[in-house]
Amino acid sequence: MATTASSTSGSHVAGTPHDAHHDAHHGGHDDHHHHELDFIQKWVFSTDHKVIGCQYAFCGLAFLFLGFLMMLVMRWQLANPGIPVPVVGNFLRGAFGPVVMTDAGALTASGYNVFGAMHGTIMVFFGIVPLAVAGFGNIVVPLQVGAPDMCYPKLNMASFWCFFTSGVLMMGSFFVPGSAAKSGWTAYPPLSGIADLPVDSSVWLNGQTVWLLAMVFNITGSLLGSINFISTIIQLRAPGLTWMRLPFFVWAQFVTAFLLVLAFPPLEAASFMQLTDRVFGTSFFMPTGLVVGQALGQSWSGGGSPILWQHLFWFLAHPEVYVLILPAIGIVAEVVANNTRKPLYGYKAMVYAIFLLGFLSFIVWAHHMYMTGMGAKVAAFFQITTIMISVPSVILLTALLLSLWGGSIRFNSPMLFATAFLPMFGIGGLTGIPLAFNAVDLFLHDTYYVIGHFHYVVAPGTIFGLFAGVYYWYPKITGRKLSEFLGRIHFWGSLITINGIFFPMFIQGMAGVHRRWYDGGVTYEQLAGPVLHWNKFMTVSAGLLALFQLPFIWNFFTSIWFGEKVGRNPWNSTTIEWDTPTPPPHGNFDKPVEVFRGPYEYSVPGAAADFIPQTQRP
Amino acid sequence: MFSRIFKYLPFFSDAEVPYTVAARPDTGLYNAKLGIWLFLASEVMLFGGLFSAYIFLRIGAEPGYWPSGLLNVPVGTANTAVLIASSVTVVLAWAALKMRQLAKYKFYMAITILCGVFFLAVKLSYEWPAKFNHFGVFVRQSAASKYDEFLGNKHLSETGQAPRWEISGHLLDAPKGSPYADQAHHNAEHFAHETHRHDAVTEADDDYVIQLDPVNADPDSKENDRPHFLPRPLSSKLAVIKAADVESASTFAPRHSTYFATYFLITGLHGLHVLGGILVFLYLWLPIKGGTKLYQSNPEHLANRVEIAGLFWHFVDLVWIFVFPIFYLL
Amino acid sequence: MSDHQAAHGAHQNSGGAVDHSHEAEHIAAHIGAYLKVGIGLLILTGVTVALSYVDFGSRANNIIVGMIVATFKASLVAAIFMHLKGEKMTIWKFLIFTCIFAAGLFFLTYLAHTDPVSGTSHSSHS
C-alpha cells in the first residue's frame, strides 16, 4: 500500500528532497506495523478512514442505483398502467411476490406504494447521505485537514456497520410477509401505524416495523459518524490550518455534521414511539376513536396525535434536505475553484452563509405541514423563516456562479458536472419559493410540482455534485483517472434526459396531478387529461437516463485497472489532500503537515505556477 | 477458536491519532472530551424529542385523560436520591484518580456501580411489575353516569375539577376472550384467599370486575381530590362494569394511555442508559487492559476515561431530575 | 505517520506529568464543593416532592414551580459535576445552539398545537 508513495508527480511543487527519505522510511514502518493484516482486516473490518469511506461510497452508489431501478418500474407503471413490465416483469414477480407484482408481471397498487416508499427511503437515507456525507466526508475530510485518520477510528467502523446492518434490514424487508413499508418515506401515521397489521407471523416481522428498526440503526450510524466528523475537524486540523484556511468542502461537512447530530435524534425518538405503537400497542400517534384500528383487531387507547409524528419527522427531515445538498455544494466549490484556476468568489461570505443556512434550517420544518390545520400565526412564522432561508442559499449559489466569471475554465468531467449543478440547483431552489407561501402551497401541496422541485434539488443538483466528486477524487483513491470520453457521454446524456424527467413534473403539478396516483392519473382523466401525455415522455427519458449510466458504471470499474495513471496531484490543486502519496497510505501523510496559506491560491500574480499548495512555505 | 474471531477485531490497525490523552493546546480539549459532549448534545435532542412528545400529548389530552398519582412517590424519591448519590461518588472517583489514589478510586467506583444496579433493580423488580398487575378501565363518556358512584364526576364538577373517566384497581374478572383472563383468574383466587369472599367472579361473560383503588372506592371524598404521598392499599369494594360501556381497558402497561406510553418509553430508555453506564463503569473498574491495569502505564488516560464516563452518568442523572417530577409528582 | 509526528504524539499522550501535582491540589480543593452540591441536590429533591403537595392555585402553576426547581437542580449537576462552569468555549458554543434548537422544538410544537384553524379539532370520545 505504501510503496506507491514514492511515485511523486512532476507537478508536485511543494515536494522537497526529504520526501523520498520520508517515503522510504514510512513504507518500512508501515510494513512492520501492519504485515499481519489480511484481506478481511484490510478491506472489510477496517478502521482506516479511506477504506470506510470507500465502503460507504460503494454502498451508497449501489443503493442509488437500486432506488433508481425502482423508480424505473414505477415510471413504467405511470406511463403504461396495468401493462406488465417488459423484460424483467416475470423476474420481479418471482423476486417480490404477489403483493408487489401481478402474475402477469405488472405493478400492483400496493406494489406501487412499496416501491414509492422504498425509493424515497433508499435514495435519501441509504444513497445520498452515505455517499455524500459518509463516503466523501470520510475519504476527503481527514485528508483536507491534514489528519492521520478520523478522530475515533473504531467508532468510525462502528458507524459503517450500523449503516450496513440497517441496509440489510431495509433490503430484507422486501421479503417479509406483506412486503416492505408502504406508507411513504415520511411514514405518516395513523396509516403507518396500522399498515400490515394484523400480521400472519408477528408484530415484529412486517414491512413497516422492519423499516423502523432499520431507521434506528441508520440514525445511530449517522450520529456516530457525524460526531466523528466534528471532532476530526476541531481536533485534528494540521498546524497552521486556521478556520478561515479550511477548504469549503470541510465547512460544508462541518455544518452538515451538526445538522445530523442535532436533528436526527428527535426522529430516532419518534421511530421508537412508532415502533411501540406497532409492537406494544401504545397510542403516541393514534388518535382517539380510530375506528379502522378496532376493525383490524388491534385496539389503541387513543389520545395520541398524528401531527406529533409530523413535527418530529420534519424536525429532522427539513435539515435533512440541507444534509443532502450542502456536501454537494462543498464538492462543487472545490471543483469550481480548481478548474477555473482562481479563488472562490466570496469565500468568507459563503462560510457565514452556510452557518446561517444551518441555523435557519432548524426552524422552518413546519412548512411541510401547512395542510395540517395549522393556524395563521404559526404558518406565518414558518413562512417567514422559509423565505429567510433562501437568502443564504442564494449567497452560496451566487458566489459559485460569480466564481466562474473571468476564469479560464477547464471543462473536464468533474467541471462539467459542477457547472451543470449550478443552474439545476437554481431551478430546484427557485421553484421552492412558491411552496414557501402557504396560500400557494395549499394548491400545490402533494402535486408533482413538489416532486419536481425536490428532485431538481437532489437529482440534477446533489447527484450531479456527487458525480463531480467521484470524477474529481477517483484518481486520489485509485491512482488512475476515469476516462474523459466516457465521462462526457455520461454527462451530456444524463443532463438532457434528467431534465426530460423532471421538467414536465412542473407542468403536470400545476395542472393538479397528484403524486400518489398509482395509475398515472388515468382514473382522473377529466382533471389530468391534458397533461397525461407527458407521462410517456418522462418514462422514455427515465429509460434513456438509465442507458446513459452504463458508460459510467463501465468507466468506474474498468478504470481501476485500465485508467490513465496519475501522480500525487493530477489536477494541480492547492488543498492538502493532493499533498499525499497516491493512493494515501495508512496514516495518510509521508511528511509532517504544516499549512501556510488559504485553500484556493490559484493564479497568484508573480507565482511560479498557477497554483500554490497550502503546505508550501511562504 | 476465539483467537480466530478476535483476529478480526481491528484493535491494532488504528492510525496514531494525536490528542487522545493530552489536550490540544488551542481548543484545550482531548478528543474524547469533545466527542462525549457532542454525544450528549445529541442525547439532549433525543430526550428533547421525547419530552416534546410528552408536552404535546399532555396539553392535547382532553380533561380526565391524563392521570396523576398512579406512581409510587416514596420509591421514586428514594431512587432519585440513589442516583444523585451515585453522581457524587463518580465525581469523587474521578477526583481520587486525578490525585493518584487508586484504592479510593476503586472504592468510590464500586459504590457508583452498586447504586446503578440498585436503581435498575428497583425499577425492574418492583416498580414496573406492580404496574403490569394494576388494571384500569376507561368508561365511555355516554355511559359514565351509570358509574358515578366510582367516578364521582358530580362532586368533581361541583368543585370545579377535571372529570374522571377511569376506574382502576385489580382485575378480578374479565369478559370472555379478554387477553387479561389469566391475570383476572389469578387475582380472583388471591382475593378469595385474603377476604374469604367469593362474589368476585360473576356469571355474566361480558363484564369487568375490579377491586377498587381508594380513589374509585370513595370518589366523592375531598381526601381523594389530590394524590397522596404514601400509596394506599386497595379497598375491598368491587365494581362491575359492562364491556359495552368500556372505551378502553388495559393493565397499567404502555398501551394503557399516552401517559403510561411516555412513562415507559422515557424511563425505559433512561434505564437502558443506566445499564450502559454500569457496563462502562464495570469495564473501568475491573483489573483488565482498558480498566485499572491502565493505571500502571498511563494513569491520566484512565482518569480521562472515568471523566467522560462520568459526564455520561451525570447526564443520565440530569435527565432523571426532570423525569421524576413530570411523571411521579405533577 | 513520520517519526517526528509520532514522537510528538507520544509526548502529548503521556499525560501532563509536569503540572500534575498542581492539578491534584486544585482538585482536592473541589471535593468539599462536590459533597455540598450532592447534599444540596438531595435536599432539593425533598423540596420538589413537598412542593408538589402544595396547592399553587392550578396544576399549571404547580408544574411551573416544579420545573423551576428541576431546572435549578439540573444546572447544579451540569455546572459543578460536569464542570461546565469553566469549560472550554468550543463546548459552550455548540451546547448553546443545542439548547436553542431544543427550545425551538418544544416551543414551536407547542405553538402549532395551540393555534389550530378553528373547527379542525374536536373531541372524539363517545
Quickly list DSSP for A507-542.
HHHHTT-BTT-TTTTGGGHHHHGGGTTHHHHHHHHH
Closest CA relative to residue A199, chosen from A295, A118, A297, A117: A297
pLDDT value at C17 more than 60: no
Q: Chain C partners of A376 at a C-beta cutoff of 8 Å? A: 115, 117
Cβ-contact B83, B115 below 8 angstroms? yes
Distance CA A125, CA A166 (A): 10
Interface contacts (B, C; CB < 8 Å): 169
Encode pLDDT of A194-231 as tens digits. Answer: 888 765 567 888 899 999 999 999 999 999 999 999 99
Which residue is closest to A240 within chain B, CA to CA? Answer: B26
Same domain, B112 and B139: no
Contact B57 A34 (CB under 8 A): no
Encode pLDDT of A460-500 as tens digits. Answer: 999 999 999 999 999 999 999 999 999 999 999 999 999 99
Rg (CA), chain A: 25
Distance CA C31, CA A404 (A): 61
Q: Is residue B296 less than 8 Å (CB to CB) from chain A?
A: no
Rounded to 5 degrees, what are φ and ψ at A610? -85, 10
Same domain, B194 and B281: no
Contact C13 B22 (CB under 8 A): yes
Q: Is residue B306 part of a domain?
A: yes
Q: Is residue B5 less than 8 Å (CB to CB) from chain A?
A: no
Q: Is residue B79 part of a domain?
A: yes
Domain housing B145? 135-251
Q: Is residue B219 part of a domain?
A: yes
pLDDT value at B26 more than 60: yes
Residue in A154, A261, A282 nearest the CB of B41 = A261
pLDDT value at A424 more than 70: yes
Encode pLDDT of A292-302 as tens digits. Answer: 544 444 567 88
Distance CA B37, CA B66 (A): 35
Residue in C95, C106, C123 nearest the CB of B62 = C123
pLDDT value at B13 more than 70: no
Give the helix/strand (H/E) hosting B207.
strand B207-212
Which residue is closest to A32 within chain B, CA to CA? Answer: B13
User: Residues with Cβ < 8 Å from A390, sequence gap 6 or more?
Assistant: A429, A432, A433, A436
Q: Is residue B51 less than 8 Å (CB to CB) from chain A?
A: no
Contact C94 B49 (CB under 8 A): no
Residues A315-326, mean pLDDT to the nearest whole number: 95
Which residue is closest to C49 within chain B, CA to CA? Answer: B329
What percent of chain B stands above pLDDT 70? Answer: 96
pLDDT at A393: 96
Local confidence band at B202 (pLDDT 50, 70, 90 cut-offs): confident
Distance CA C8, CA A126 (A): 40
pLDDT at C123: 62
pLDDT at C41: 97
Local confidence band at A2 (pLDDT 50, 70, 90 cut-offs): very low
Same domain, B229 and B263: no
* Furthest-apart CA atoms within chain C: distance in Å: 78
Local confidence band at C122 (pLDDT 50, 70, 90 cut-offs): low
pLDDT value at A508 more than 80: yes
Encode pLDDT of A520-557 as tens digits. Answer: 888 887 777 889 999 999 999 999 999 999 999 999 99
Last residue of a domain, one of B219, B251, B283: B251
Contact B37 C106 (CB under 8 A): no
Last residue of a domain, one of B251, B286, B304: B251
Q: Chain A partners of C111 at a C-beta cutoff of 8 Å? A: 377-378, 381
Torsion angle (degrees, nearest 10) of CA A11, A14, A16, A18: -110
Interface pTM, i.e. ipTM: 0.93
* Interface test mutation site (partner B, options C91, C101, C122, C126, max chain B beta carbons within 10 A): C91
The DSSP symbol for A201 reads S
Q: Given the DSSP bridges, would you call strands B166-173 and B135-139 parallel, antiparallel or unpaired?
A: antiparallel
pLDDT value at C37 more than 90: yes
Local confidence band at C114 (pLDDT 50, 70, 90 cut-offs): confident
Over chain B, what is the mean pLDDT?
A: 91
Residue in C2, C116, C124 nearest the CB of A591 = C2
pLDDT at C11: 41
> CA C97, C99, C103, C105 torsion: positive or negative?
positive
Residues A444-473, mean pLDDT to the nearest whole number: 96
Same domain, B91 and B230: no
Q: Which three cell numbers stand for residue A267?
A: 426522529
pLDDT value at A41 more than 80: no
Contact C117 A381 (CB under 8 A): no
Rounded to 5 degrees, what are φ and ψ at B171? -80, 125
Encode pLDDT of A253-270 as tens digits. Answer: 999 999 999 999 999 999
Q: Is residue B244 less than 8 Å (CB to CB) from chain C?
A: no
Same domain, B262 and B117: yes
Encode pLDDT of A356-377 as tens digits. Answer: 999 999 999 999 999 888 888 8
Residue in B13, B16, B261 nearest the CB of A283 = B261
Give the count of domains, chain B. Answer: 2
Burial class (CB in 10 A: 0-12, 13-18, 19+), B145: exposed
Instruction: Sheet containing B166-173: give its strands across.
Output: B238-242, B207-212, B166-173, B135-139, B246-251
Distance CA B109, CA A537 (A): 70
pLDDT at C124: 67
Judged by average pLDDT, the poorest of A41-45, A167-171, B90-94 is: A41-45
Give the helix/strand (H/E) hosting B239.
strand B238-242
3-state DSSP assignment of residue A345: coil
Same domain, B159 and B246: yes
Same domain, B122 and B262: yes
CATH code: domain of residue B325: 1.20.120.80
Amino acid symbol at A313:
F
Q: Chain C partners of A366 at a C-beta cutoff of 8 Å? A: 108, 112
Residue in B45, B60, B264 nearest the CB of A305 = B60
Give the helix/strand (H/E) hosting B248.
strand B246-251
C27: left (phi over 0), alpha (psi -120 to 50) or beta: alpha
Domain boundaries, chain A: 51-287+302-579
* Furthest-apart CA atoms within chain A: distance in Å: 80
Encode pLDDT of A52-77 as tens digits. Answer: 999 999 999 999 999 999 999 999 99
The DSSP symbol for A609 reads S
Last residue of a domain, one of B197, B218, B251: B251
Please report all neighbours of A, defined by 3+ CB atom pairs within 8 A: B, C
| Residue that has been written with the C-alpha cell 364491556 in this structure | B243
Q: Chain B partners of A284 at a C-beta cutoff of 8 Å? A: 53, 57, 258, 261-262, 265
Strand partners, B240: B209
Q: Is residue B19 less than 8 Å (CB to CB) from chain C?
A: yes
Same domain, B143 and B245: yes
Rounded to 5 degrees, what are φ and ψ at B307? -65, -45
pLDDT value at A27 more than 70: no
Residues A329-336, mean pLDDT to the nearest whole number: 97
| Residue that has been written with the C-alpha cell 379502522 in this structure | A292
Over chain C, what is the mean pLDDT?
A: 82
* Interface test mutation site (partner A, options C1, C4, C96, C115, max chain A beta carbons within 10 A): C1
Residue in C27, C53, C113 nearest the CB of B56 = C113
Encode pLDDT of B132-168 as tens digits. Answer: 999 999 999 999 999 999 999 999 999 988 999 999 9
pLDDT value at A20 more than 50: no
Same domain, B91 and B144: no
Look at domain A51-287+302-579 and name its CATH class: mainly alpha
Contact A153 B48 (CB under 8 A): no
The DSSP symbol for A363 reads G
Q: Chain A partners of C126 at a C-beta cutoff of 8 Å? A: 289
Judged by average pLDDT, the poorest of A32-41, B107-116, B275-284 is: A32-41
Q: Is residue B233 part of a domain?
A: yes
Cβ-contact A463, A514 below 8 angstroms? no
Residue in B16, B42, B265 nearest the CB of A273 = B265
> pTM for this one?
0.92
Distance CA A88, CA A589 (A): 49
What percent of chain B stands above pLDDT 90? Answer: 75
Q: Is residue B325 part of a domain?
A: yes
Cβ-contact A583, A476 below 8 angstroms? yes
Q: How far is B85 from chain C (nearest CA, A)?
A: 7
Residue in B7, B14, B257 nearest the CB of A301 = B257
Q: Is residue B46 less than 8 Å (CB to CB) from chain A?
A: yes
Q: How far is C7 from chain B (nearest CA, A)?
A: 10
Encode pLDDT of A84-142 as tens digits. Answer: 999 999 999 999 999 999 999 999 999 999 999 999 999 999 999 999 999 999 999 99
Encode pLDDT of B45-86 as tens digits. Answer: 999 999 999 999 998 888 889 988 899 999 999 999 999 999
Cα-based angle A47, A51, A52 (whole degrees, multiple of 5) = 65
Same domain, B117 and B264: yes
Over chain A, what is the mean pLDDT?
A: 90
Cβ-contact A99, A179 below 8 angstroms? yes
Q: Is residue B268 less than 8 Å (CB to CB) from chain A?
A: no
* Furthest-apart CA atoms within chain B: distance in Å: 80
Closest CA relative to residue C108, chosen from B94, B48, B135: B48
Interface contacts (A, C; CB < 8 Å): 68
Contact B50 A311 (CB under 8 A): no
User: Residues with Cβ < 8 Å from B16, sequence gap 6 or more?
Assistant: A148, A587, C1, C5, C6, C9
Q: Chain B partners of A151 at a C-beta cutoff of 8 Å? A: 17, 31, 34-35
Residue in A34, A269, A288 nearest the CB of B50 = A269
3-state DSSP assignment of residue A613: coil
Please report all neighbours of C, defined by 3+ CB atom pairs within 8 A: A, B
pLDDT value at A348 more than 60: yes
